[in-house]
Amino acid sequence: MQTNVAHTQTLTQSRGLSKRLRPWVLLGLQVIVFLAVTKPLFRQILVNAGESDAKSAVRLIGRQLAALPDSPPDDLAVWMRDQTELRHRLADARILDAHLEYHGYRISWKPAGEDSPLRGTVWAVPIDPGNTGYTRFHLQVR
């Protein structure tokens, strides 16, 4: 007995096309999942690295200020321009009006009053809290 079922070209072509697209769709979904998982992870790694760098910079600047034989400067940016070794160690630091910007942190110097046993305090504050860092750092210089 003979069947009356005929194969049409359009059904055969669309089925073959979907078999060729299936791996690309799966690859696309894998890329989307990969990006959705790794983007926040990389962002957190960058924020942690910026916080660690800011903490190191505060210690380094504080150590240099504590080693000064005379009174510390009033303006951190002006003082920093003359510190070639410190500028070399903090090569990414941008010297602005009265402060520095370093890896997402604003580093500033607050001199102490005349009757204080301290020379002052070095501060590192995130420029954009939550995006460039979470923690504020300070170091009191004697």
Tens digit of each residue's pLDDT (9 = 90 or more) over 32-78: 988 888 888 888 998 999 999 999 999 999 999 999 888 778 888 88
Please tell me the distance from the alpha carbon of residue 106 to that of residue 136, in angstroms, as a whole number: 10
pTM of the model: 0.73
Higher model confidence: residue 1 or residue 21? Answer: 21
pLDDT, averaged across the chain: 85
Give the per-residue pLDDT at 56. Answer: 94
Order the strands of the 94-95 sheet from edge to edge.
Answer: 94-95, 100-102, 105-111, 120-126, 137-141
Query: Letter for the amino acid at 65?
Result: L
What's the half-sphere exposure (Cβ side, CA atoms, 13 Å) at 65?
A: 29
Give the per-residue pLDDT at 59. Answer: 94
Give the per-residue pLDDT at 20. Answer: 78
134 to 16, 52, 54, 58, 104: CA distances (angstroms): 53, 11, 11, 16, 10
Give the per-residue pLDDT at 88. Answer: 92
- The percentage of the chain sitting over the pLDDT mark of 90, rounded to a whole number, equals 39
Give the per-residue pLDDT at 10. Answer: 55
pLDDT of 128-139, one tens digit each?
A: 998 889 999 999
